[in-house]
Structure 1
Amino acid sequence: MGYRVAVVGATGAVGQEMLKTLAERAFPVSQAYALASERSVGREVSFGEDDILKVLDLESFDFKGVDIALFSPGAKISAVHAPRAAKAGCVVIDNTSHFRMEHDVPLVVPEVNPHRIADYTRRGIIANPNCSTIQMVVALKPLHDEWKIKRVVVSTYQSVSGAGKEAMDELFTQTRAIYVNDPVKPEIFPKQIAFNVIPHIDSFMDDGSTKEEWKMVVETRKILDPDILVTATCVRVPTFIGHAEAINVEFERPVDEDAARELLRRAPGILVQDNREPGGYVTPTDSQGEDAVFVSRIRRDPTVPNGLNLWVVSDNLRKGAALNAVEIAEILAGRYLAKAPGGRRQAFGV
């Protein structure tokens, strides 16, 4: 059975990765649509190795007859067009931040809370979490099930691709400028990103946190457990693709690092590479183009009764966005859409 699938924001880095991932995983697509803003209409984007799609105008596109739409056009655009798609009977999987904390929209990571996909019937919208949250909760889920997490302290090392193509261009341009002794002019980031790190992602909030840090806190609690205490420091680093996180976890019960390592090895979506020797760990470069969440540097924290330290790395465009959305679509199609009362053409939010 094939599904009619639209990718919204198809000319962006995440949108292109969504199209690539749908093709690579052989998602049963009977008709694919690439949608973007009016200025991109007519551009061509790849869908797998052989198919080329012409970009259509999101503003005038009629979602009637489309089964699933993967959205990554920016929060303000999703706020307008995702409900419009749902009203036409299309199930939206939205990668932006707009719907994540709405109580009647499920926030899903398939390795962690796939049962929440069933709640798509409330609004016709499923939210994809923040990229840094996704990789962290995938790593934490098996540990939480075994020893129950009390508190998480996380510091992130996030690549510039998390801020879009223009941010990647800025890193490249600044790096080249430094080598040829040209002036460096920050435009996308508030400070020079080349050969630097910036402890500021998204806007500042009243308590001194950034919105990115707030997202990690509230999304982790919505996805994993509302009783977990989380504090985050999110940092932009001069790498193109791949986010890394240094995570300190405190549990309610005594934790054994060898048992934790073995538990993580068996968990879905995780690859453990934890050799205590030079190069025996995963870095962001190693994660590029890979599906897995990688875990390294697993070790006991002796400063608290039941503490563990982890190093977690993942491709933020892949698992942190496109792959997570496609995996949601796979479960949605396999378990729910074929069984939906009245077929898939029910309208949502009306």
Structure 2
Amino acid sequence: MGVKVAVFGATGAVGKEMLTILAERLFPADEVYALATRKSMGVELSYGEKTLKCQDVETFDYSKVDLVLMSAGGEPSKEWAPKIARAGAIVVDNSSAWRMDPDVPLVVPEVNLDALDGVKKKGIVANPNCSTIQLVVALKPIHDRAGIKRVSCATYQSVSGAGQEGMDELWTQTKGIYVNDQPTPQKFTKQIAFNVIPHIDVFMEDGATKEEWKMTVETKKILDPKIKLFATCARVPVFVGHSIAAHLELEDELSADEARALLRESPGLMVIDKREDEGYVTPVECVGEFATFVSRIREDPTVENGLALWVVSDNLRKGAALNAVQIAEGLLNKGLLKNS
């Protein structure tokens, strides 16, 4: 018997991308099911050359699948992930609901694949925050070589990180401005078209937003609890692709040339770093790509053993759907799925 997979939240932007990537990477599934709420029953979705009809998450028999890739938000995940796990399937969840649960592995396959062995505790694996994923893929080889003491980063996050509503709002506001319509913020707190908003998720007591907190605690859980991280997360008028300007303070000296060579040989990364026009990657170039791109690698003379990086990735792919599918591949390769 082969592996049977369900995508829970299949009509959302990330759910659709999960189906696309399962097909692109030739994931060895005998059956793939698209699941969504009752209002989407019968909606047709593409899976490679096949067309899948959405089934209802409420009535689906989860005992007949080995793996559920879930992208439906925190509250549905809290309700459904334990039920699905009790039915015998492993859940790979894209929301923030389970990330900091000590009994749930938080996994980026290029960084901490062995953490998957802990999936047996609850039957759930958490997919990290989109910005955390691309950051730790770039940090891992540097930390292994030179030890990272501290990271200060600013993120420039695309509107697709807020789902289809975020993309629609940018599109509507951009069109409206050209015909003198006053932008009306709905999904975002302020106008997003032709603007930058230094506010993602809710504010916390110390003045950080929850998005900034997520990057800090998730990096510690995935990579090393001793790393100090400070982030400022901003929403920018880009449809797809997150960017991060990261400044590192290392334990040991690592030159820009050494870092460049190291990152070129590291899994999941592509280095494009020439000191000339177009010698770097922007969000436009990363769309549709599996890799996390690193550019603008420089030594930072303001701190001892300082290094600066520009890190760009497709947040719907590596920042969400691709990482989830890579986790699924890891579960399969480790024999952790029922029929693997």
The two structures share one fold, judged by TM-score above 0.5: yes
C-alpha distance after superposition, 1:45-93 (max 9, x if no partner): 1111x21111111122220121000000011001011111100000000
Distance in 1, matches of 2:96 and 2:60, equals 23
The CA deviation at 1:247 is: 0.1
Contact 2:272 2:293 in 1 (8 A): yes
Determine the structure 2 residue equivalent to 1:37.
Answer: 37
Distance in 2, matches of 1:61 and 1:170, equals 33
Structure 1 length as normaliser, TM-score?
A: 0.96
Are 1:207 and 2:172 an aligned pair?
A: no
Q: SS at the partner of 1:226?
A: coil
Determine the structure 2 residue equivalent to 1:2.
Answer: 2
Structure 2 length as normaliser, TM-score?
A: 0.99
Between 327-336 and 292-301, the greater mean CA deviation after superposition: 327-336
- The residue type paired with residue 156 of structure 2 is Y
Contact 1:89 1:344 in 2 (8 A): no
C-alpha distance after superposition, 1:184-228 (max 9, x if no partner): 111110100000000000011111100000000000000000000
C-alpha distance after superposition, 1:215-273 (max 9, x if no partner): 00000000000000000000000000000000000001112111110000000000000
Between 53-62 and 219-228, the greater mean CA deviation after superposition: 53-62
Distance in 2, matches of 1:263 and 1:337, equals 32
Q: SS at the partner of 2:64?
A: coil
Distance in 1, matches of 2:335 and 2:121, equals 13
The CA deviation at 1:344 is: 5.3
Determine the structure 2 residue equivalent to 1:180.
Answer: 179
Are 1:271 and 2:270 an aligned pair?
A: yes
Instruction: Give unpaired runs (5+ residues) of structure 2.
Output: none
Are 1:11 and 2:8 an aligned pair?
A: no
Distance in 1, matches of 2:273 and 2:212, equals 27
The CA deviation at 1:337 is: 2.8
Determine the structure 2 residue equivalent to 1:153.
Answer: 152
Distance in 2, matches of 1:161 and 1:120, equals 29
Distance in 1, matches of 2:24 and 2:161, equals 22
Determine the structure 2 residue equivalent to 1:239.
Answer: 238
Aligned residues: CA RMSD: 1.0
Determine the structure 2 residue equivalent to 1:104.
Answer: 103
Distance in 1, matches of 2:178 and 2:2, equals 51
Are 1:93 and 2:85 an aligned pair?
A: no
Determine the structure 2 residue equivalent to 1:28.
Answer: 28
Q: SS at the partner of 1:98?
A: coil
Q: SS at the partner of 2:246?
A: strand
Determine the structure 1 residue equivalent to 2:82.
Answer: 83
Determine the structure 2 residue equivalent to 1:348.
Answer: none
Aligned pairs for 1:1-350 (under 5 A) are 2-48=2-48, 50-337=49-336, 343=338
Contact 2:2 2:339 in 1 (8 A): no
- The residue type paired with residue 36 of structure 1 is A
Contact 1:4 1:68 in 2 (8 A): yes
Distance in 2, matches of 1:201 and 1:298, equals 27
Instruction: Give unpaired runs (5+ residues) of structure 1.
Output: 346-350
Contact 2:3 2:339 in 1 (8 A): no
The CA deviation at 1:118 is: 1.1
Distance in 2, matches of 1:318 and 1:270, equals 14
